[in-house]
Amino acid sequence: MNIYLIFLLAGAIMVIEGLPYFLMPSKVKSIYEKIKDMSDLSLRIFGIIMIIIGFIIVYLVKSKVCS
């Protein structure tokens, strides 16, 4: 794997992660308040779903780029 691709992906993730904080900081604060009220089980389920979706996206993109 090319090291430049890793840095490209890390940079893209940082841009995507930073957008909500820049575009709607007050909404992000209210979302964090709601997250504090959620149960640990709900957060774990949400987390594992996001991990699975992320792996699927990486797999699909990698299979298209590397073929």
Domain boundaries, the chain: 24-67
Q: Which parts of the chain register pLDDT below 70?
A: 1, 67
Q: Quick one: pLDDT at residue 13?
A: 93
For residue range 21-31, list pLDDT tens digits in order. Answer: 999 999 999 99
Q: Quick one: pLDDT at residue 67?
A: 66
Instruction: Give the C-alpha separation, 56 to 50, whole Å.
Output: 10
